[in-house]
A = this chain, B = another copy of it.
Amino acid sequence: MPDFQSILEDIYQKLTNDDDKGEVASYIPELANVDPDAFGIYLQFINGEHYEVGQSQTPISIQSISKVLTLAMAIQMEGLNLWERIDVEPSGNPFNHLSLLEMENGVPRNPLINTGALVVADILVSQLKHPKEEFLQFVRDISNDQTINYDQKVFLSEQATGYRNFAAANLLKTFGNLHNDVDEVLDFYFHQCSISMSCAQLANAFYMFANRGKCIQGKLHLKKKYAKRINAIMLTCGFYDEAGEFAFEVGLPGKSGVGGGIIALLPNEFVISVWSPGLNEKGNSKLGMEALEMFTTQSNLSIF
């Protein structure tokens, strides 16, 4: 059994001394204010053990990581119907996603790109009476932490500058693949992206994906077969145009966000979350990717 605390500390040591920490996302003013040197890891095993290093308890903007959580909530309610409106193929596209959406007649490639997540958001807006409240409660429940909340400043910042998402939602509307009002869906979507969670909270929230649908409290939040399939989607689609690279270098299902967070997991074994705000040119946390590669190499734990 490897000494996981040593591995994490070794990664922390090496990477925090790296001169090139990537570029902090600046397209949302609120994200640009973060400390570029922040770095944290939280490692939670299914058997209950956990390890952490650095700023693993600092809240960060989860951004696109939220797409996995809305997908989980939607699939639990919609089941297979969901796949009539969204595909499950990697986008694998160097060009922007609106082109792809247009060429494929309004069916997003997968639920983890923006256009796909907008359709998922639309489903939740249709299905839930109080979408924002109920989704937040879902996140709190699976994380076993009632303090998790939306960050209003981040929400406003995204809403004021999210022209591309306005474009995407309107384009989905032209294809009949957005059933609710554009503004209502975007209000929900910008909220979900604005949730603040620490590495520790993220690891708790994603525990259920590594544990066949059961959260750390043992409660079933997601059918086993759905957990398995969302893991498959994370592996093939979780890292934008770098999904293949991540599978190749790290070998775990996972999801990144432009806030610099990454969550990854080995089914039946562990969940790991990393945070470092600087992004590489593909939009994933630069040191976060390196940390996970180091971790799977040193621990010899991966799905392949």
By a beta-carbon cutoff of 8 Å, the part of chain A in contact with chain B is: 87-96, 98-99, 102-104, 109-110, 163-164, 166-171, 173-174, 182, 228-229, 231-233, 235-237, 241-245, 247-248, 251, 253, 267, 302-304
Contacts and interface: CB of A to CB of B under 8 A. Distances in A.
Contacts of A95: 99, 102-103
A253 B304 contact: yes
Interchain residue pairs A-B with the least CB separation, the first 9: A92-B92, A99-B99, A167-B170, A89-B244, A90-B90, A231-B304, A166-B170, A163-B173, A167-B171
A109 B244 CA distance: 10
For the residues of A in contact with B, the DSSP-based class is: helix
Count of identical protomers in the assembly: 4
Given A164-B171, A304-B231, A93 B96 contact: no
Contacts of A229: 248, 304
A92, A99, A104, A304 pick with most chain B CB within 10 angstroms: A304
A303 B244 contact: no
B253 A110 contact: no
Contacts of A170: 163-164, 166-167, 170
7 contacts: A90-B92, A90-B244, A92-B92, A96-B103, A229-B304, A236-B243, A236-B244
Nearest to A169: B167
Contact of A304 (B99, B228, B242): B228
A169 B182 CA distance: 15
Contacts of A171: 98, 163-164, 167
